[in-house]
Chain A
Amino acid sequence: MKEEHGHRPGKKTYKYGMVIDLDKCTGCGACMVACMAENNISFRKDETNKLVSNFWMRVYKITNGRSFPDTDVCYIPRPCMHCEGHGHHHHTPCVSVCPACATDYDHETGIVSQIYTRCFGCRYCMAACPYHARVFNWWDPSWPKGMEKYLSPDVSPRMRGVVEKCTFCHHRLQRARNKTYSEGRREIREDEYQTACTQACPAGAITFGDLKNPEHKVHKLVEEGKKKKIAFRLLEKLGTNPKVYYVSTKDWVQKAADVYLGEEGKPVTHA
Chain B
Amino acid sequence: MDSALIPKGVKRCPFGLFLVWIGILQIPFLIGVIAYLVCWGLALNQTYLNNNYPFGLWIAADLGIIALGGGAFFTAFLRYIIKIDELKNIVNFATVIGVMCYAAALGILAVDIGQPLRGWHIFWHANVHSMLTEVAFCISCYFTVLLIEYLPLVLENREINKFGFPRSFAHHLHEAMPAIAAIGVFLSFFHQGSLGGVPSVLYGRPFAYREGFLVWPWTFFLFILSAMACGPCFTILITRITETFAKKQLVKRNVIDILAKISGWLLGGYLVLKIIDTISWGVSLAPSVGAPAGSFYANQPYGWWVLITEVGILGIIPCIILLSTRARQNQPLLILACLLNCAGIFMNRWIMSVQTLAVPVMSFDKFFSYHPNWAEWASTLMWVWLSAIVISISYRYLPIFPQEKELNPL
- A residues near B (Cβ < 8 Å) are 49, 51-53, 60, 62, 76, 86, 89, 91, 93, 96-102, 118-124, 126-132, 134-140, 159-163, 234-235, 237-240, 255-263
Question: Given B49, B121, B357, B364, which contacts A100 in the complex, CB threshold below 8 Å?
Answer: B121
Q: Which of B117-155 contact A (CB under 8 A)?
A: 118-119, 121-122, 124-127, 129-133, 136
A-B contact pairs, 5 of them (CB 8 A): A53-B51, A102-B121, A127-B205, A127-B357, A259-B290
When chains A and B are docked, how far (Å) is the Cα of A159 from the Cα of B118? 13
Going nearest first, the 10 A-B pairs with the smallest beta carbon separation are: A121-B114, A161-B114, A123-B54, A51-B50, A130-B204, A120-B118, A130-B361, A126-B54, A99-B132, A259-B290
The CA of A126 and the CA of B122, in the complex, are separated in Å by: 17
Please, how many angstroms separate the alpha-carbon atoms of A257 and B50 in the complex? Answer: 24
Number of interface residues of B (CB under 8 A): 52
CB-based contact B113/A262 at 8 Å: no
Work out how many contacts link A and B, with CB atoms closer than 8 A: 172
A44 vs B114: C-alpha distance when bound (angstroms): 19
Instruction: With CB as the reference atom, state the residue of chain A lying closest to B293.
Output: A262
Q: Contact between B206 and A259 (Cβ–Cβ < 8 Å)?
A: yes
Given A53-B51, A240-B203, A261-B295; 11 other pairs, CB 8 A cutoff: A52-B45, A98-B130, A126-B51, A127-B205, A136-B54, A138-B50, A159-B115, A160-B43, A237-B289, A238-B289, A259-B361
User: Which chain A residues border B136 with CB–CB below 8 Å?
Assistant: 99
Contact between B201 and A240 (Cβ–Cβ < 8 Å)?
no
Q: List chain A residues, Cβ under 8 A from B203.
A: 86, 93, 238-240
Return A223 CB to nearest CB of chain B, in Å: 25
Decide: A52 and B51 in contact? CB cutoff 8 A. yes
Is A51 a contact partner of B201 (Cβ separation < 8 A)? no
Query: Which A residues are in CB contact (< 8 Å) with B290?
Result: 237, 258-260, 262-263
Complex CA gap A123/B353 in Å reads 12
Q: Given A128-B205, A256-B363, are A99 and B133 also a contact pair (CB < 8 Å)?
A: yes
CB distance from A251 to the nearest CB of B (A): 14
Q: What is the CA–CA distance of A92 and B206 in the complex, to the nearest angstrom?
A: 15
Docked complex Cα distance between A118 and B124 (Å): 10
For A54, give the chain B residue with the smallest CB separation: B51
Name B204's contact: one of A51, A89, A160, A240 (CB within 8 Å). A240
Write out the residue numbers on chain B whose beta carbons fall within 8 Å of the beta carbon of A163: 114
B217 to chain A, nearest CB (A): 13
Q: How far is the CA of A160 from the CA of B112 in the complex (A)?
A: 13
Check if B95 is an interface residue, CB within 8 A of chain A.
no
Contact A162–B52 (Cβ < 8 Å): no
A86's closest neighbor in chain B, by CB? B203
Chain A residues contacting B131 (CB-CB under 8 Å) are: 97
Contact present for B361 and A235 (CB under 8 Å): yes
Residue contact B55 to A259, C-beta cutoff 8 Å: no
B54 with A62: CB separation less than 8 A: no
- B115:A120 contact, CB within 8 angstroms: yes
Is B292 located at the chain interface by the 8 A CB criterion?
yes
B368 CB-CB contact with A under 8 Å: yes
Q: How far is the CB of A151 from chain B (nearest CB, A)?
A: 21
In the bound complex, residues from chain B placing their C-beta under 8 Å from that of A126 are 51, 54
Q: Are the C-beta atoms of A120 and B121 separated by less than 8 Å?
A: yes
Within 8 A of A (CB), among B245-291: 287-291
Judged by a CB distance under 8 angstroms, whether B202 is at the interface is: yes
In the complex the two chains form, is B50's CB within 8 Å of A122's CB? no
Q: Across the interface, which residues of A come within 8 angstroms of B295, CB to CB?
A: 260-262
Given contacts A240-B204, A256-B364, A259-B363, contact A161 B113 (CB under 8 A): yes
B44 within 8 A of A: yes
* In the complex, B2 has a CB within 8 A of chain A: no
- Name B53's closest neighbour in chain A (CB-CB): A51
B365 surroundings in chain A (CB, below 8 A): 132
Which of B116, B119, B121, B130 is the one whose CB lies under 8 Å from A96?
B130
Distance of A86 Cα from B203 Cα, bound (Å): 10
User: Do B362 and A234 have beta carbons less than 8 Å apart?
Assistant: yes
**Chain B residues closer than 8 Å to A89, beta-carbon distance:** 129
Given contacts A93-B203, A98-B130, A130-B361, contact A120 B291 (CB under 8 A): no
A213 to B124, CA, bound (A): 38
Inter-chain contacts of A102 with B (CB < 8 A): 121, 125
CB pair A132–B292 under 8 Å, yes or no, is no
Smallest CB gap from A131: residue in B: B362
B33-57 Cβ-contact flags toward A at 8 Å (1 or 0): 0000000000111000111111100
Residue B89 is within 8 A (CB to CB) of chain A in the complex: no
Point out the residue from B51, B112, B118, B363 that lies within 8 Å of A261, measured CB to CB: B363
Q: Give the distance to chain A from B319, nearest Cβ to Cβ, in Å.
A: 31
CB distance from B206 to the nearest CB of A (A): 7
Q: Which residues from chain A contact B49 at a C-beta distance below 8 Å?
A: 138
Answer whether residue B356 sits at the interface, using C-beta atoms and an 8 A cutoff: yes
A139 touches B54 (CB 8 A): no
Q: Is the CB of A122 within 8 A of B43?
A: no
Q: Which chain B residues in 281-309 approach chain A with CB under 8 Å?
A: 287-292, 295
Closest to B294 in A: A262
How many angstroms from the CA of A234 to the CA of B290 in the assembled complex? 13
Q: Which residues of A contact B361 (CB under 8 A)?
A: 130-131, 235, 238, 259
Bound together, the chains give a CA A53 to CA B52 distance in angstroms of: 11
Q: Across the interface, which residues of A come within 8 angstroms of B368, CB to CB?
A: 51
Which residues of the other chain, A, contact B54 by a CB distance below 8 angstroms?
Answer: 123-124, 126-127, 136
How far is it, in angstroms, between the C-alpha of A217 and the C-alpha of B368 when the chains are bound?
Answer: 38
Establish whether residues A118 and B121, one from each chain, have CB atoms under 8 Å apart when the complex forms: yes
CA distance A145 to B289 in the complex (A): 48
